[in-house]
Structure 1
Amino acid sequence: MPVKVLVVDDSGFFRRRLVEIFSADPRLQVVGTANNGREAVDKVQALSPDVVTMDYEMPVLDGISAVSEIMKRKPTPVLMFSSLTHEGARVTLDALEAGAVDFMPKNFEDISRDSAVVKRALVDRVLTVARTRVGASFKPTARTATKVEPRPIVVSGDRGVIIPRARKKVSLVAIGTSTGGPMALQAVLTRLPKDFPVPLVLVQHMPAAFTHAFADRLNNICQIKVKEAEDGDKLTPGVALLAPGGKQMMVDSRNGGCVRILEGDERLNYKPSVDITFGSASKCYPGKVLSVVMTGMGADGRDGARMLKNSGSRVWIQSEDSCVIYGMPQAVEKAGLADDVIHLDHIGERIVKEVG
């Protein structure tokens, strides 16, 4: 069965182009279009689409209000289109808070070109968003509370005595996430107290124009300080540094601990990349990092988690039932790297307990 799509946009040109692109793929079926938010809410009720693509600036009812009403009446995965500006970032974050799953830049020039790359990216994103869970009231499950004990190590000696791996005090908390991450990070970081005793580094897959606005939003609602990382920023207790979009953030042990911001390598799929930040942290703070891989598609974070585990650090993942997309945590779990599987509602309090 093809995925049913409702296309919502007040631009006739943009609407037609999306319909053309989606209709050309047998995995998708466009079941309707709408040119304002009010019409979108009504058509979600009438047509029961699997996914909605939504513009944010529309007459009668704007995109954010439309998303909010859809989530109240008939929760449906929504992919927002937004401009790559500071205002576009602010509006997109509002839409995600209202219940939208993910977003894509609205670029008329890209969409007007007959680009196979753009078409494939659009279709893949719609298919991914259609598979996400929305509007659910997530509750902890028995699996959520499962504790994976640290693996023992063999100590050399006549009898080869096996003792538990020594646990070092946490010196750094590192969190990586992607689709569904903005609201997940908000849920975790708002649980941390003002006097949180260690520094944090955050990696969220997000365009360059969005990370500054996202850091500001987190800083306004959290007790800890959150800022978009700049090259040379010191790692400071109670301060979370968010990797800037389009670049890579590496942890550096010099100068008492800081971050280095590097231009993103075009060969890497993710800019910023969780693997890059986690991998550098494993070298600077061997055995002393508490890392968490949260909701997102793909496998970014798995290789970095392996490096952290090999250095003796702890790796946690968000539970499947509380993820928007279980891709990144699942990749870590399948690789046998997860020390603990934790429901989103409990990650913040567990971090506080772990760092003591």
Structure 2
Amino acid sequence: MPGKIRVVVVDDSALVRKLLTRMLESDPGIEVVATAPDPYVARDQIKRHDPDVITLDVEMPRMDGLTFLENLMRLRPMPVVMVSSLTHDGAKVTLQALELGAVDFVTKPAQQLSVKLQDYAAEVVSKVKAAARARVSSRETYSGEAREAFRQRVRESLREAGAYEARSTGGRQKVVAIGASTGGTEAIRRVLECLPPNAPPIIISQHIPASFSGPFAERLNGICSLTVREAENGVPLMPGHAYVAPGDYHLRLRRDGARLVCRLDQSATVNRHRPSVDVMFESVAQAAGSESVGVLLTGMGRDGAEGLLQMRKAGASTMVQDEASSTVWGMPGAAVQLGAAEEILGLEAIPARMLALAQGDTARPA
């Protein structure tokens, strides 16, 4: 029917194909036009039906999901939602898929059969709907050459801004708080990998499952000059370090004398998320106030918008990623509507501006 989001479900398990189809078609705005047990059948179904979104299993016979995704993004770029296992290896492969251009991922429904099946179905539907609205570029956007060109442009802007010097106010160094959701793993990577090893301490809340946050931090740590780790309860923030909220835990900032420390808890979800960006931003507003910088990147929904507004009211510098460079301009757009964002910047401009604000250079660039 006209107006429906047309989906092709690709998975080698007949049970998973049936479950995903039933879940997606429970929403009147979605139609599963075809299913496929492997990438070769999927290729023919995509040619035949020209879908708006595909869901893609990571591990399949005849051709693995990553190889198929890479070919798809080169020949016929389209929104892809990966279907991943909750294992450590599954997380690593899924993060690679996001680097190759997948919009988002959901975990295997077989992991959810005993509990919260209704919540899982709602997640699948919302992520497919968001993917249908997402900006998807050609494979060249995600190639090694494109990533290096992006880094070179950011490094040039950093050179023009001058070397970062860790300055403090009253013995306290500024802290940077970054929040993101859909498209955020790649946006965060692009920001962090350009920063110098003496960058200010950074805390990060990315909507991500518990089994994925560790591999995500490990992956960032392997490519960044910063030390990137999962946040631990009571750990003090240090310059040159970035702390990723563990999946299924809220990350809050607390003042301990002159130190800022990470606090983790499993209190109720906020905006249906744990970690929640709002929770983190609101804690930063209280603990650091004007000695902080808030950055809200690409993401679906509104999480982080209200928290960023609280940061701005507390005297923090705030910015959001612009619509043109966001995969989904939900969270940043909501922050703009609330008046929470002092600046709206393309992703390439964020690292240099973030460092400038962290060292007290608040004058707007010409």
TM over 0.5: yes
Q: Secondary structure at the match of 1:264?
A: coil
Whole-angstrom CA distance in 2 between matches of 1:16 and 1:175? 38
- The one-letter code matched in structure 2 to 1:203 is S
Per the TM alignment, residue 280 of structure 1 is displaced from its structure 2 partner at its CA by 1.1
More moved, 14-23 vs 294-303: 14-23
More moved, 111-120 vs 205-214: 111-120
- The one-letter code matched in structure 1 to 2:216 is F
Percent identity at matched positions?
38
Deviations 1:271-321 (A, max 9, x none): 011111111111121211111000001111112112111111111000001
The residue that corresponds to 1:8 in the other structure is: 10
Whole-angstrom CA distance in 2 between matches of 1:334 and 1:230? 34
Q: Secondary structure at the match of 1:279?
A: helix
The residue that corresponds to 1:150 in the other structure is: none
Over 3 Å counting, the alpha-carbon distance change for 1:272 and 1:291 in structure 2 is: same
| Bigger CA radius of gyration | 1
Per the TM alignment, residue 38 of structure 1 is displaced from its structure 2 partner at its CA by 3.1
More moved, 303-312 vs 120-129: 120-129
Over 3 Å counting, the alpha-carbon distance change for 1:89 and 1:264 in structure 2 is: farther
Give the structure with the higher percent helix.
2
Over 3 Å counting, the alpha-carbon distance change for 1:26 and 1:303 in structure 2 is: closer
Per the TM alignment, residue 116 of structure 1 is displaced from its structure 2 partner at its CA by 4.2
For the 8 Å contact 2:134–2:328, the answer to whether it is kept is yes
Per the TM alignment, residue 126 of structure 1 is displaced from its structure 2 partner at its CA by 1.4
The residue that corresponds to 1:156 in the other structure is: none
Gaps of 5+ in 2: 151-167, 360-366
For the 8 Å contact 1:37–1:65, the answer to whether it is kept is no
Whole-angstrom CA distance in 2 between matches of 1:91 and 1:106? 14
For the 8 Å contact 2:300–2:331, the answer to whether it is kept is yes
> What are the residue-to-residue correspondences of 1:196-345 with 2, within 5 Å?
196=199, 198-254=200-256, 256-266=259-269, 269-345=272-348
- The one-letter code matched in structure 1 to 2:315 is G
**Which residue of 122, 125, 142 corresponds with 1:123?**
125
More moved, 296-305 vs 316-325: 296-305
The residue that corresponds to 2:177 in the other structure is: 174
Q: Secondary structure at the match of 1:16?
A: helix
The residue that corresponds to 1:163 in the other structure is: none
Per the TM alignment, residue 195 of structure 1 is displaced from its structure 2 partner at its CA by 2.0
Whole-angstrom CA distance in 1 between matches of 2:293 and 2:332? 15
Whole-angstrom CA distance in 2 between matches of 1:245 and 1:110? 17
- The one-letter code matched in structure 2 to 1:84 is L
Whole-angstrom CA distance in 1 between matches of 2:270 and 2:315? 29
Whole-angstrom CA distance in 1 between matches of 2:121 and 2:248? 22
- The one-letter code matched in structure 1 to 2:332 is P
**Does 1:33 pair with 2:3?**
no
> What are the residue-to-residue correspondences of 1:34-49 with 2, within 5 Å?
34-49=36-51
Whole-angstrom CA distance in 1 between matches of 2:212 and 2:116? 27
For the 8 Å contact 2:12–2:36, the answer to whether it is kept is yes
More moved, 172-181 vs 106-115: 106-115
Per the TM alignment, residue 84 of structure 1 is displaced from its structure 2 partner at its CA by 1.3
Per the TM alignment, residue 114 of structure 1 is displaced from its structure 2 partner at its CA by 10
Over 3 Å counting, the alpha-carbon distance change for 1:328 and 1:49 in structure 2 is: same
For the 8 Å contact 2:88–2:211, the answer to whether it is kept is yes
Over 3 Å counting, the alpha-carbon distance change for 1:115 and 1:313 in structure 2 is: closer
Q: TM-score, normalised by structure 2?
A: 0.84
Whole-angstrom CA distance in 1 between matches of 2:19 and 2:340? 43
Deviations 1:244-280 (A, max 9, x none): 1101111111052211111232566210111111111
- The one-letter code matched in structure 1 to 2:290 is G
More moved, 265-274 vs 215-224: 265-274
For the 8 Å contact 2:198–2:240, the answer to whether it is kept is yes
Whole-angstrom CA distance in 2 between matches of 1:171 and 1:14? 47
Over 3 Å counting, the alpha-carbon distance change for 1:47 and 1:185 in structure 2 is: same
Q: Secondary structure at the match of 2:324?
A: helix
- The one-letter code matched in structure 2 to 1:63 is G
